[in-house]
Amino acid sequence: MKTFLEQVKKRLKAAAVSTFGDELNDFEPVIDAASNPAFGDYQTNIAMVLASKVAQPPRTVAQKLIAAVDLSDWCQTPEVAGPGFINLRLKKEYLESLLDSIKDDTRIGIPLASPASKIVIDMSSPNIAKEMHVGHLRSTIIGDALARTFSFLGHDVLKINHVGDWGTQFGMLIAHLKDACPSALSEPDKVNLGDLVEFYKEARKNFDASEEFQNSSRQEVVALQSGNPESIQAWQLICNQSRKAFQEIYSLLDVPDLIERGESFYNSMLPDVVSDLKSCGLLVEDQGAQCVFLDGFLNEQGEPLPFIVKKRDGGFNYATTDLAGIRHRVKEDHADELIYVVGAGQSAHFAQLQQVARKAGWLPEHVKMGHVPFGSVLGEGGKKLQTRSGETVRLKDLLDEAVASARAELEGRLKDEQRSESEEFISQVAQAVGIAAVKYADLSLNRITNYIFSFKKMLSLQGNTAPYMMYAYVRVQGISRKGGIDFTKLDNSECLKLSKDAEVTLAKCLLKFDEVIDSVVQDLMPNRICEYLFQLSQVFNQFYENCPVLNADEPARTSRLLLCDLTARTLKVGLSLLGIPLVERM
């Protein structure tokens, strides 16, 4: 209904200008969805906003506006209500014509963005030689959902995996492997990620205990950083084994097309970052470190805080790497927008990073940069999520458990309903439902707050959960199977007719999808899609209860089939924007 809203705003503005004068030329009307169905479909507060400007009572202003505006092609006669709201009620015929115009559109009426932008999304970012854990879940799936949404709108999206693949820990690991498992350093597939994690723990222990080992670790770091071929080979083998494990998770989660550009990718650019900061006069040496002093960030003494780009020991840190990333994404990728899906704890870092990049001129004004922060995943009781033994939860284990729970649930239900299904069906549905449940539970919450992780809640078959949405879709597919309906070959020359309330309500909901996508892109909040899809599913289920489809007489039958098909396609597109799968039966 986006275009509807724009047109109404245009007419309301024209009416305001013609009634009250040219000084309202820069006035922008606001129209919102009605807060209550009793108030119609849309409401506008413009009369209240204008009242003080034109020195007339709000209700009088509203009456005059109504008299001056003609919305009769779309709405019933507008009503003035309460303190001065103007309430709009859509005409059935208009809804029917709108549905008619999107029913043959594969994009169900969602226009492509114009112009298209190049959007670079920094997301996921696990560490080499460590397991992916719950901490990586949100960045990965929120980033993916945003990427899918932008792509659907026609933007050119680059998903970057800024993996932790460089640093002193590799010296430690390589030094330890030389003693403990030398073949791992020269032959592929000698060890897997799990082994590496164990070796890493041992290395850490050695490092803390033995001065000799500390020295050999440091030597390995130097060898690696100076490009010693054996060290590089060992490092690459370690990275490859980690990648395999990460890829397994990305496949499970269906997060495709991540471009790996780890810390090492930027190594060669770091000296330039520092020297260029120097030549533009931003660089200051302080206590041996090279820094840029920041505006608006103070230390305990109230002095400006430094943004350190070169440590006292001559090494670079993540600030330098991130600056190099910005430069590269702007210059080489030609990004119009940089998005960082990183935990809320990093917000100060990103604010500082942006300030320095702007000052240095690496981030031109026309390039947007946004940190998309999110809260933590907590365990029951609101404490940090961990296993019974107190360790961080591996993402793989978490996903496997979700699939196993979904399977148990499904098998129980099949037994109750005395249905018999193939092993292939069971495992396929359990997989889809389990993964969908985890992703949906996360994406459906406002990302900024922490949330409490609960298998029981997310796999619950009622409420705002993935299974509920998937079931609504399955119901439509059930109708098509039962009636032998091929939705793509529906004879829809007869236009849609909305007769019952449930049909009208469903129609209105279907037509709001574009507004929702708009707000998601605006605020980078995927939970809005979930909220919408839940509402759509509820409205569809009410329709399903009240309006028999296959047994209805024409023309209601075809009209309802069209509504079913549009619902299914909207659910499919909506869930696809979240990276959540659907099944035909469950």
Q: Does 359 bind RNA (CB under 7 A)?
A: no
Name the segment binding RNA (CB under 7 A); options: 97-105, 114-122, 216-224, 453-461. Answer: 453-461
Q: Which residue has the tokens 């100060």?
A: 348
| Whether the Cβ atoms of residue 16 and residue 65 lie closer than 8 Å to each other | yes
Map residue 123 onto helix, strand or coil.
coil
Per CB under 7 A, contacts with RNA among 63-82 are 81-82
Among 317, 392, 428, 492, binds RNA (CB under 7 A): 317
Structure tokens at 352: 């500082």
Of 28, 33, 151, 159, nearest to 88 by C-alpha is: 33
Provide, rounded to whole angstroms, the least separation between the CB of residue 211 and RNA.
19
Q: Which of 111, 194, 463, 555 binds RNA (CB under 7 A)?
A: 463
Q: Segment 201-240, which members bind RNA (CB under 7 A)?
A: none
Contact mark string toward RNA, 496..535, x via CB under 7 A:
-----------------------------x-xx--x--x-
Distance of closest approach, residue 124 Cβ to RNA, in angstroms:
13
Stretch that binds RNA, among 230-238, 248-256, 393-401, 471-479 (CB under 7 A): 471-479
Per rule CB under 7 A, count of chain residues that contact RNA: 98
Least Cβ distance, residue 366 to RNA (angstroms): 25
Using the rule CB under 7 A, give the single segment among 275-283, 339-347, 388-396, 487-495 that binds RNA: 339-347
- Residue 83 or 370: the one with the smaller Cβ distance to RNA is 83
Strand arrangement of the beta sheet that strand 289-298 belongs to = 283-286, 289-298, 304-310
Per CB under 7 A, 541 contacts RNA = yes
Contact 396, 132 (CB under 8 A): yes
Dump the DSSP string for 365-416.
TTSEEEEE----EE-GGGSBP--TTSPPPBHHHHHHHHHHHHHHHHHHHHHH
Window 392-431: residues binding RNA (CB under 7 A): 409-410, 413, 417, 429
Using CB under 7 A as the criterion, what x/- string covers residues 156-195 for binding RNA?
Answer: --------x--x----------------------------
Q: Which stretch binds RNA (CB under 7 A): 183-191, 234-242, 244-252, 347-355?
A: 347-355
For the CB of residue 188, give the shortest distance to RNA in the complex, in Å: 26
Non-local CB neighbours of 402 within 8 Å, separated by 6+ positions = 434, 435, 437, 438, 455, 458, 459
Nearest to 148 by CA among 114, 126, 119: 119
Is-cis flag, bond preceding 256, omega within 30? Answer: no
Q: CA 549 from chain center: how many Å?
A: 35
Taken as a whole, the chain contains a residue count of 586
**Three-state secondary-structure class, residue 227:** coil
Residue number with CB closer to RNA (312 or 368): 312
Q: Work out the widest C-alpha separation in the chain, in whole angstroms.
A: 89
Least spacing, CB of residue 96 vs RNA, in Å: 20
- Is 313 a residue that touches RNA (CB under 7 A)? yes
Q: What angle do CA 222, 170, 256 make, to 5 degrees?
A: 130
- Our finding on whether 356 is near RNA (CB under 7 A) is no
Element housing 309 (H / E): strand 304-310
Secondary structure element (H or E) that encloses residue 42, with its range: strand 42-44
Q: How far is the CB of 163 from RNA (least distance, A)?
A: 9
Closest distance to RNA from the beta carbon of 319 (Å): 8
Q: Mask of contacts with RNA, 272-311, x by CB under 7 A?
A: --------------xxxx-x------xxx--x-xx-x--x
DSSP class per residue in 260-289: E--GGGGGGGHHHHHHHHHHTT-EEEETTE
Nearer CB in complex with RNA: 160/433: 433
| One of 448, 499, 501, 554 touching RNA (CB under 7 A) | 448
User: Would you state the structure tokens that stand for residue 387, as one six-digit string?
Assistant: 């296993």
Among 492, 538, 572, 576, binds RNA (CB under 7 A): 538
Task: Identify which of residues 158 and 344 has a Cβ nearer to RNA in the complex.
Answer: 344
244 is a site residue for RNA (CB under 7 A):
no
Measured from the CB atom, is 184 or 502 closer to RNA? Answer: 502
